Amino acid sequence: MEVRLTNRAAAPARLITCYEGEQPCTGDLPRLITQLIREMAEDEAFSPKFGTTLVLTPGQKEAPRHIVLMGLGKAEEFSAEKARKLAGRAFKEAKKLKAAGLDIDSAALNGKIDSLELGRALAEGAMLASYKFDKYITGRKENPVEAVYILGEGDALSQGINEGLALAEATNLARILTDEPANIMTPAHLAREAEEAGAKYGFEVQVRDEAGIRALGMEAFLAVARASDNPPRLIVMRHMGDPDSKEILGLVGKGLTYDSGGLSLKPRQSMDGMKGDMAGAAAVIGAMAAIAQLNVKANVVGVVAACENMPSGKAFKVNDIVGSMAGKSIEVLNTDAEGRLTLADAVSYAVAGEKATRVLDIATLTGAAVVTFGKITTAVLANDDAFYAKLQEASELAGERIWRLPHDEEFKELIKSDLADVRNTSKDGAGTITAGLFVGDFVQDKPWLHLDIAGTSWLTGEGDYNPKGATGVGVRTMFHLARELDK
């Protein structure tokens, strides 16, 4: 599917919008059709509250075959996120109608938010809603909607559409990587996908095998990886968009391509979905694609420690004490708290190996984050207020909600070990906070952000523009963060 800017309406389906207390914006539609739409808008069956929808099939040659009337709510409350949802919902209505094309009139929405932001949000919403992972279904039906046309003109609107398309493409890349089954998406396969993305979008990729990982002293990472027949990979991606600057943003994604729990084996129902335990890695690969494609003037390094956590005679065990790249010892009290071990070495490498001056890690890390925030909000820990403020700005631009958790010193007492420098589980609750603080213990006091996407990376039902399954959460937030840091 494509999204294009045009000044001529010609698609078989047309989106007409209506704010509360205002007449629908019908543009160049014939007078009789305009009158009919206004009557529909005033009907008791329709409410102009955001998302309310009615479909009209006029049956006149001068009019589109289908008119989708959609409420926008109060004009003063319209936002980029609502534009994104609007485009996603409109696309889904067009798909239901089997319309080959959909027109969206930007003039009805312009002035509420700036043209660049509007174009970006509409393009994102339509393209994100078009995603469906069905490649393994024989005889699958193709998407009937071939194009979404945004009616309007201007350089800012055009630039916004182009940005939105790039960001949606990168998000959909992350979704594909996460949705792939684990028998396909092994650590080696994930590394190849990163290399292909680098070649396509223009960022450097370096992959280290098990011997290369061992040479770096990544003992915690290798402890998790050693039970699997699929060997680990360390994936490093680089975009040097500002070579004169010494500032480097490190993006570190958890890359467990399958997590059985290891010897602390998960029950069957908890294993369902564990192919998605590399959603953080997928998000980092997607973010690097967007950053490179849109040529962000910033230095960004992506790091992924990719492996599987499996049971076998070689598996690491409860009560083991393992080393790490940073030289710290770790007491293992749960082999299903493995992601933080791989992240410990990955963030250490980002700082020591790639000279990152700021670090963000993103991971499907704790079930406690799902208990707290469900599928709606990403949990965040931060050790730097200014860095977190930039993340807030970025998440608002992306429409991806976040919430900062406390990180008082008392929480660190919960991961102190009697036998090693740190333990990999909490002594007493605060699971999301202590898991994040464990990772933060390895960033060498650099400004640091930790995003726990255990809930937000995967949906069990469709959203306005998110599919059932992988959401690609974090891609657009990390892109905007890189660009915000450039300002």
Residue 113 CA to residue 368 CA, distance in Å, equals 36
List the structure tokens of 263: 């010897």
Residue 279 CA to residue 304 CA, distance in Å, equals 11
Which residues participate in catalysis according to the annotation? Answer: 266, 340
Residue 176 CA to residue 439 CA, distance in Å, equals 27
Q: Determine if residue 241 is left, alpha or beta; phi over 0 gives left, psi from -120 to 50 gives alpha, anything else beta.
A: alpha
- Tell me how crowded residue 384 is: count the other CB atoms within 10 A of its CB: 15
Residue 2 CA to residue 165 CA, distance in Å, equals 9
Render 266-278 in DSSP notation, one character per residue.
PPHHHHTTGGGTT
Helix segments in 248-354, DSSP class H = 268-271, 279-293, 339-352
Helices 115-129 and 80-96 sit at what angle, rounded to 10 degrees? Answer: 40
List the structure tokens of 71: 């409420």
Greatest Cα-to-Cα distance within the chain, rounded to the nearest angstrom: 81
Least Cα distance to 191 among 208, 213, 173, 212 occurs for: 208
Residue linked to tokens 């098990």? 210
Residue 344 CA to residue 337 CA, distance in Å, equals 12
Residue 223 CA to residue 325 CA, distance in Å, equals 12
List the structure tokens of 413: 């007492």
Residue 380 CA to residue 459 CA, distance in Å, equals 19
Q: Determine if residue 354 is left, alpha or beta; phi over 0 gives left, psi from -120 to 50 gives alpha, anything else beta.
A: alpha
Residue 32 CA to residue 305 CA, distance in Å, equals 62
Contacts of 210 (CB under 8 A, 6+ apart): 222, 225, 231, 232
Q: Which amino acid is at 212?
A: G
Q: What letter would DSSP give residue 215?
A: H
Residue linked to tokens 């996908």? 193
Reduced to 3 states (helix: H, G, I; strand: E, B; else coil), residue 448 is strand
Contacts of 368 (CB under 8 A, 6+ apart): 430, 431, 432, 435
Q: What letter would DSSP give residue 7?
A: S
